[in-house]
Structure 1
Amino acid sequence: TAKTSYTDALSLKAEEAYPKTQIQKIDALLASQQAEAEKAAQLAAAEKALSEKYASIIKLADSQFSSGDYTTAKTSYTDALSLKAGETYPKTQIQKIDALLARQQAEAEKAAQLSRNKQMLNEKYLLLISSADKFYEKESWSYALVDYKKALKIKPEETYPQNQIDEIELLLENLKKQEEEKLLAINQYKTIIQEADLLFEQEEFLLSKSKYEVALDLKPQESYPKNQIKRVKVILDNLKRAERNKQELEIKYQNEIAKADKFFENGDYSVARHHYQAALKLKSVEEYPKEKLTEIENRLAALKKKEDLALEAQKNNNFEKNLGILKERNYSDLIGKADQSLNQENYKVAKVLYEKALELFERDYPKQKIEEINRLIRDQRRSKQSQAYKDLITRADKELEAEHYAVAKFYYKKANDLVSSDDYPKDQLEKIKHLMNARKNQKVDKEYQSLLSKADAALKKGNLTVARFYYEKAGNLKSEEKYPKQKLKTIQLEQSKK
């Protein structure tokens, strides 16, 4: 407006200098104002751009912070602070991030230490289980029990050591119970045998037989009550059949006498003596076999004396003949002693004597007697072993049916030791081996799947350290499996990226 007025004045007096000077001053002032306005506008635009860039970086940093990407967020907050060093917000956020990163580092180190501790415990656990299993296979039950308990203390949640402990304790309890029952049975057995023997001496045969049977139930392997029961049965049968067998006894007696007389007439005095003794056993009151036995002894004594004299007289001339007579005399003595031992049921002694007689003369009589003794010994042994073997098999089958494999194995082994020719206990032992392996494999499979489930869940959540721990456990449990190894490689790659 002032410039317009000066311009109007100059139009009236164009030669006047004053309005011209004022107009120049106004133009200079307006130019200065225009320049300052433009400069202020530029400064405002720059400030606006700086604020917008700062706000954008802060927004990005906040987003990174919210997503947990703390390291990148810290970089962004630092960039924002470089734009506006006076701002407190990015400084505060950087302090928060430093605290969070420090806490994460501490937690990672703690988790790593925990992982190492767990790995050490796991290795110790596996060593104890391996040691316990070896003791278990050797049937060193006490040592196995100690190691299984130590393993369970390390990992109380594991079922395998607890199952093994339960099985061993059951086995030990059964063995203890068996020993107690055995001791009780021995005491009862002795008392009942005494009662049975007293009744037997009193000729109360039926009552004594009942007592012997009770004793045999307590100790089935004992031969004495069996033999006594047999004796009682024989006595009872003889009493019942006394009249009926009288004629049969007489026939047997006469047959033995006839055989004895025949051998006596032929000069085979040792065999004759055996048959006279047999006849005398049939009818001990008869005098004839006693007289003949006395006569045989006298004849043998006379022959011996004669042989001694003949040997002395013809020592140099008839050595071979005298030697034959001496052998015959020795043969007769051996046969007589063998027959006596056989009659007394001293089978081993009788067999040795018959064998010595057979070395002197290859004759049928000692051969037949040796075969007879072998049959008697076999029958006696079979009788003793049979019942004990059946009892062991019955006990083992019962324990196997109850799935008490270790106990069943114990009894099958005892049965096999007693009768090694039977394949049944061997087959059952092989079956138990497969069942025990299957049970162990089943437990391992279950534990393996549990570890994989935990590992997969941890990996899915991004907990790489935890996932690695469980995959390593699974890999140690089943070293042939590829899956845990593949997952461990994946985890290693993920961790190397960070």
Structure 2
Amino acid sequence: NKISEIDAFFAEIAALTEQYEIAIGTADTYYNENQYPEARDAYVRALGLKPEEAYPAERIATIDNILANLEAQRLIDEGYANAIALGDNHFTNKEYEQAKGEFMKAVEFKADQQYPKDKIAEIDGILVEQARLQEIEETYANAIANADGFFNNEQYTEARTSYMEALAAKPENVYALGKVSEIDGILGDIVRLQEIDDSYNNAISEADAAFDAENYMPALEAYTTALGFKPAEKYPADKVAKIDAIIAEIAARKKAIEDGYAQAIIDADEFLERGAYLEAIQEYEKAGEFKPEETYPKEKIAEINSRLTELQAERQQAYNTAIAQADSYYDMGNYRNAKGAYQTAVTIKSDESYARERLDEVTVLYMAEVESLKVEYRKVLAEADNYFREKIYDGAIENYRIASGILPDETYPGKMISRITQIINDNAITDVNKLAQIIPNNTDRRFPFSELPVNVRKENYILIKARNVSDHDFKMLVNFGRDNSKNGGIVLKVPKGEMSRDYIIRIGALYKWFSEDNNWLGIYPEGGDIEVALIRISKSD
């Protein structure tokens, strides 16, 4: 039995050793294949079979250490991978600050890895570039905001400077380039307009100086130059029109002086030839009033006075006639004519105190009369001016003539008559007659013309330049009609006198004139002969 027990004991030991060896072999195999959890389980079984064996315990300790290291590495790898994945995702979404943070975590997990370091460097470069671009954007935005503000306030020089600052930040920016180009155009226009203004102002200054000095031709040239710079300006245009009127008035005045002088000389010479010395002196004096610088009238007066000295009785008679005429005018209250007759008497006998005293007296009375007549003169003149403003030119001329009759020495009515005549001439539509011809008394002379457009008929005026070639007043009928039919007419008074006279008729106010297609005008003098030099159809301005 002991032997059996011993055999069983050794058999048990042998079986245990075999199991141990198998467990160790299995464990070593797993260990060598790096299957550490399976190897550890086998070593634990072996250690359980032989707890006293150091080998499996050492192997278990080694595996535990290995497994611990592997877990730590797994956590590092996992953390690294997650950080790289998050970094790449943020980078793709251009979330560079978040991406850089993740790549820095990856470097903390694995400092030897180059990829996250490269990405960090790349991101740093991007962030620097973004900061640079942000700075550019801010600089550009500020410059554009300032420039737009200046531009809207029309501060173009400052605006251009700010747009150039914007272009320094963004050289190819289309908006800023366009605004700079636009401003260059505006500044060019401003410079050009300033040059025009300067040239215009210089021309106006030159013209005004010449006008004030009554140098009308240089003034006209300078105002015309100013209009060339600014054609729409009213001031130089008005000045040109005024100078034209002044020049026309000067020409008319000069012509009136020439005509008046020539007629006075003709009349005086005729009186002298007939021996009518008083009348001759009066006409020579009249000629001298027209042209004080002319010596001929003075010489002829001296000649007459010389003759009158030789013919004392006749000179006395001439003096007496002048005094009688002057006294008569004086008694009638016609101080103007009285003044002229007393002046003639003084001219004949300058040593006569009566004539001189009466001349002084009547001059005072005449001046007082002029003052009293000024009220009526101004009233008639105001009515004439009102007609003129309303463009009723025939009414204006009639009242200007009345005003001139009230105060013959006043020049304004004559100027306005000349101005109206100029307006009528400037707005001429057609000349019905331009050939000077005498129409005898009670003769109907018709002048054809093409019918006028309906839209101008109500504005029509007729200008007739005519001269009374008879020695008395008479009437002149101005008729109109179509073909063989007479549609209407108007009667004018023709005063005596050999000077040519302008007759202006507001024919457009007659219903039959603007309602019918008239094609002739007729002149019919009744009571005397008339010379007609011009018949012109015009319109108001």
TM range (shorter): 0.3 to 0.5
Structure 2 length-normalised TM:
0.36
Structure 1 length-normalised TM:
0.38
Higher helix share: 1
